Amino acid sequence: MPLDAPVAVKEAVLPFKRFRTKEGHTVDSVLGPEMRSTGEVMGIDRDFPTAFAKSQDAAYGGMPLSGTVFISVADGDKRAVILPAHRLKQLGFSLVATEGTAEILARNGIKVGVVRKFSETKDGESNIVDLINAGEIDIVVNTPSGMSARADGYEIRAAAVAADKALFTTIATLGAAVTAMDAMQDGYEVTSLQEYAEMRAARL
């Protein structure tokens, strides 16, 4: 493949807000092997970050470029989240996290606030679901693990979906999103597949 060949990123469109359980609750947004999308979009450009940015823009209207990011990840993801979290700080985001995630970030020199889990609710003190519902969180990062953590995570993810907030449930997707934010800030041109075909034919 030539070095100047474009990169394509396909994104599934999953409108979780339309999906409900028999009891009327929002379905969990953690993907499983049997989930099916209601459509697909594709971003195509000279590099992966720009192509990924285009795919997110087409599928979900883009990603926030400022604001507050909430991070709560499984133990196995805590070290992997350090670099994306550090980059988010460099981009100007404020970070808040649950206690365990906040500890590992702080130990690696990343300034982060601590927020209570949904299950740690106390009178007069806001938990993360309260903050999402109040519009104080712009991006949610949550990778589930364990029964109690999964129950907490469900409430967090359901609140994020209901509030139309950007939600990342794997470190790989978060990493891709962080690399795409530079491309979104710089802006990009939109080129149709027909135009790409014409440019390719002209090079042959």
Over the stretch 144-187, which tens digit does the pLDDT of each residue have? Answer: 765 445 667 888 888 888 888 888 989 999 999 999 998 888 88
Question: CA 42 to CA 40: how far, in whole Å?
Answer: 7
Bridge partners, 70 (sequence order)? 96, 140
Taking residues 44-55, what's their average pLDDT?
Answer: 91
Over the stretch 100-140, which tens digit does the pLDDT of each residue have? Answer: 999 999 999 999 999 988 877 777 778 999 999 999 999 99
Quickly tell me which residue has 């693990």 as its tokens.
Answer: 145
CATH T-level fold of 7-190: Rossmann fold (3.40.50)
Question: Looking at residue 128, what is its pLDDT?
Answer: 93
Cβ-contact 96, 71 below 8 angstroms: yes
pTM of the model: 0.80
Cβ-contact 44, 51 below 8 angstroms: yes
Cα-Cα-Cα-Cα dihedral sign, residues 192, 52, 8, 32: negative
Bridge partners, 122 (sequence order)? 125
